[in-house]
Amino acid sequence: MDRNMVTQITDGVKISVESTFQPGYSNADQNHYVFSYDIVIENNSEYTLQLLRRHWFIFDSNGETKEVEGEGVIGQQPVLEPGQSHRYVSGCNLKTNMGKMYGFYLMERQIDGFRFEVKIPEFHLIVPYRLN
């Protein structure tokens, strides 16, 4: 299985992303390529944090760009104590066999309500045969 993992740390919050092409859900004849991404959010700060919102930028290699913004991740707004992590899997579809995504989470410190953005590192969505 071809995997692509990237990580980034912002203000003590580590984001790890691993993307995988999903051939069983894709159809090249219809320009439909599906990718999943597995994300781990680790709170390495000294504060209890809550993930409030997500904001994604999705780029297709045909020049198309999508923005996705909303509350939480897959219907949840997880609270992370120091040292805790939250993992989820989601996905996206492209019209071409390669693209990329990045974005940020809006986090809130529970102690004082301070809000800040945590970067989601850029990761590539590439059908494995494109790498040969």
Which domains are delineated in the chain? 4-131 (2.60.40.1470)
pLDDT in tens, the chain (132 residues): 445 689 999 999 999 999 999 999 999 999 999 999 999 999 999 999 999 999 999 999 999 999 999 999 999 999 999 999 999 999 999 999 999 999 999 999 999 999 999 999 999 999 988 665
Taking the C-alpha atoms of residue 80 and residue 88, their distance in angstroms, rounded to an integer, is 14
Instruction: Output the 3-class SS for 74-100.
Output: CCECCEECCCCEEEEEEEEEECCCEEE
At 5 the pLDDT is: 85
The reported pLDDT for the residue numbered 3 is 54
